[in-house]
Structure 1
Amino acid sequence: MLEQRAAFLSASYGTPGQRFRLAPERAGPGPAAPSWAAGTWTIVTVWNPDGQQQPKADNLRAERELLALIVSRPHFPGVNGEGEWAEPSVILPGLTLRRAAELGRRFAQAAVLFGAGQRVALIWLESDRMRVERFWAQLLEV
């Protein structure tokens, strides 16, 4: 669990053009949240359930299933992580926390991100409950 938490905290998230990291404190002056982070938003990936690398074909099949589920909702592509662990994700504006957790659990994800503006919650999807860690979005230069 500690290794997985460290991976989540060191990863970057967002779109290819606007990336952020989870930060324990609010950033200084200037834009602190990605431009797409107005209101509430969720980032969900379906790749590599439970943090275990899966064959690309399995990940792509899960991604198609997710996209079929959200086809009628506003969403746009994102990326979680970098390098070997860069995983396609979707950013869903206006999704409720409950629905975000349902999607994450459906695809056996350890956690999802749920945000409101520049506030970000790392929502751990434990078997019988959700555990929340709160952070700030810290924009990165891309």
Structure 2
Amino acid sequence: MKEELRAAFLGATYGTARERFQLSPTRGVPPSWARGTWATVTAWNPGARQLSAEANVRAGVALLAEVQAGGFSPLPAHNGAGAWREEALIIPGARLRQAANWGSAYGQAAVLWGTGARVALVWLDSAGKVLGVERRWARRVTEADR
């Protein structure tokens, strides 16, 4: 994995418009929705290549339909900011294998999978195989932190 990509994932914020979080090596206050198992997955910018807005929206709609067809009720979310702000889904109740499969199907280098406040940055290959896991905490980011 490229160090720049790893740094981008570790430095990004994630979550809903109201509650953002960062991956932290230390425990903090987690987002209120971080209970049970959950995943954060996007279909935008596969392979860390910026696609057109139209292509990203189409992929996001397809991911949403697939997740809902699986019986999940995802929360709208976004990852990152600025030019790399990507629409995403927080999927309560998702299992690790499901998150990895969704991420792989949409060309993602990684997904987030959590249990409560504990979250894993799960690195993927194009076949859905988990290449590695970095364990962190979901620490809520306040306006003062931004």
Give me the TM-score of the superposition, normalised by structure 2. 0.91
Superposition pairs for residues 1-142 of structure 1, below 5 Å?
1-27=2-28, 32-71=29-68, 72-127=71-126, 129-130=129-130, 131-142=132-143
CA-to-aligned-CA distance 1:13-46 (integer Å, 9 cap, x gap): 000100010111223xxxx111111101000000
CA-to-aligned-CA distance 1:83-141 (integer Å, 9 cap, x gap): 11111100000100000000000000000000111111000002463110000111111
Q: What RMSD in Å do the two structures reach over aligned CA positions?
A: 1.1
Where structure 2 has 5 or more consecutive residues not aligned to the other structure, the ranges are none
Aligned residues: 138
One-letter amino acid of the structure 2 residue matched with residue 106 of structure 1: A
Judge conservation of contact 2:72–2:93 (CA < 8 Å) in 1: no
3-state SS of the aligned residue for 1:33? coil
Judge conservation of contact 2:107–2:126 (CA < 8 Å) in 1: no
Q: Percent identity between the aligned chains? A: 49
**Cα deviation, residue 64, structure 1:** 1.1
Where structure 1 has 5 or more consecutive residues not aligned to the other structure, the ranges are none
Distance 1:67 1:45 in 2: 9
Moved more, 124-133 or 99-108: 124-133
Give me the TM-score of the superposition, normalised by structure 1. 0.93
